[in-house]
Amino acid sequence: MTPGKPKRAARATPARAQGPGIELLRRLQEGHAFNPSPRHDQLYAVHVPYDELTGGSSCEAALERALRQGRRVALVGASGTGKSSVTEHVLGPLVEGLAPLRVPVTMERTGIATDPVEFARHLVALVGRWVDVALPQRSRDAADLAPARRGPATHKVSVAPTWMETKVELAYELSQAAALDAPTSTQVVEQARGLLDLIRGDELVPVVVLDDTDRWLSTSWQPDNPGVRAAFFGRVVRVLAEELDVAAVVAVHPTYLTDADYQASAGFLDTTLHVPQVPDAAAVGRILHRRTADDLGEERDDLISPEALQVLFEHYRHAPNVRRRLLLIANAALTLAVDAGADRIERNHCIAAITQENLVD
């Protein structure tokens, strides 16, 4: 290279001729097969369990076992490592006996994450809205009987829990219980406990899912997040254990582990599980191959070369992040392969995709 001349980004080598594989790659591209951030309700379908990738039972199997025992689980992993995918796999629509209650808190008002009574009120309101989605006619009947439930509109929950849609009588009972007026703090907590008891009475284990709490990092635009974390782990988690006695899975960023308030919650989050790392290039292939099934009707292992998988794994293992360092790069490499008219994703497509990402960074 000539001294002083800027270094060029790696380029994908054009294919000499287009073969049948290019049409399959185009279908993957059009179907967004390697989408780094699919919707939550799609995660269970594309997730390859870490227990399968590692040959162990310390992740998905351990989480399911703990939740069925009514435990409150801290699921530890950095952003992009797959905590939501693990949770959705264990609590997906095909699960039996577990009733997940997904409670978003990060996008809600701060009080929900810091005040146990506000959290309990939020849980009750969510159940009421889920019934509106699952059984609109029944919920309208309940609303006629309890007009006090009508109030200011809040953002819609797009999908009711699958288990609720199949439990018509239980859903109606929940709608009536959620519609009751609870003017005092004690009554709000009792109302939330009553909803959970109704679910248990139908031979289901209610599970509170808090999978966005790992976003409470201290940032310049959200400087009070350490205070939010302190109140959540010091007060709300305690109510989940002492007052509601409910199973739960809580997303925990590894940096939280040194927080004094998080450590003080150890008696209330009684199980800690860590999301493993993807172990090797073959496991990377299994993750990507699973995502080809929806668009091609089957999993294909011939559209990504072994050398390409090795490049992806080496890029991932230096800073493990499935979303950014595997899927995002694979998605960009797919585009480069299609543009080049290639039959499969090759090593040079992945190198070019990584180089492009580094230039952006």
Same domain, 324 and 202: no
Q: Residue 238 pLDDT > 90, yes or no?
A: yes
First to last CA, the chain: 24
Same domain, 239 and 208: yes
pLDDT digits (tens, 9 = 90+) for 168-194: 889 889 999 999 999 999 999 999 999
Same domain, 252 and 307: no
pLDDT digits (tens, 9 = 90+) for 149-165: 334 434 343 457 888 87
User: For every residue of the chain, which 3-state class applies, written as one string?
Assistant: CCCCCCCCCCCCCCCCCCCCHHHHHHHHHHCCCCCCCCCHHHHHHHCCCHHHHHCCCCCHHHHHHHHHCCCEEEEECCCCCCHHHHHHHHCCCCCCCEEEEECCCCCCCHHHHHCHHHHHHHHHHHHHHHHHHHCHHHHHHHHHHCHHHCCCCCCCCCCCCHHHHCCHHHHHHHHHHHHCCCCCHHHHHHHHHHHHHHHHHCCCEEEEEECCHHHCCCCCCCCCHHHHHHHHHHHHHHHHHHCCCCEEEEEECHHHHHCHHHHHHHHCCCEEEECCCCCCHHHHHHHHHHCCHHHHCCCCCCCECHHHHHHHHHHHHCCCCHHHHHHHHHHHHHHHHHHCCCCCECHHHHHHHHHHHHHHC
Same domain, 114 and 139: yes
Domain-embedded: residue 12: no
Q: Domain range for residue 233?
A: 59-214+221-274
Domain-embedded: residue 285: yes
Domain-embedded: residue 122: yes
- For residues 340 and 327, what is the distance between their CA atoms, to the nearest angstrom? 20
pTM of the model: 0.85
Same domain, 336 and 300: yes
pLDDT digits (tens, 9 = 90+) for 92-145: 887 899 999 999 887 777 889 899 999 999 999 999 998 888 776 544 444 444
Same domain, 165 and 253: yes
What percentage of the chain exceeds 90 in pLDDT? 63
pLDDT at 218: 56
Same domain, 174 and 236: yes
Which residue, 274, 297, 318, sits at the end of a domain? Answer: 274
Q: What is the mean pLDDT of the chain?
A: 86
Same domain, 265 and 141: yes
pLDDT at 294: 86
- For residues 360 and 54, what is the distance between their CA atoms, to the nearest angstrom? 33
Domain-embedded: residue 189: yes
Same domain, 130 and 246: yes
Q: Which two tokens stand for residue 18?
A: 């287009």
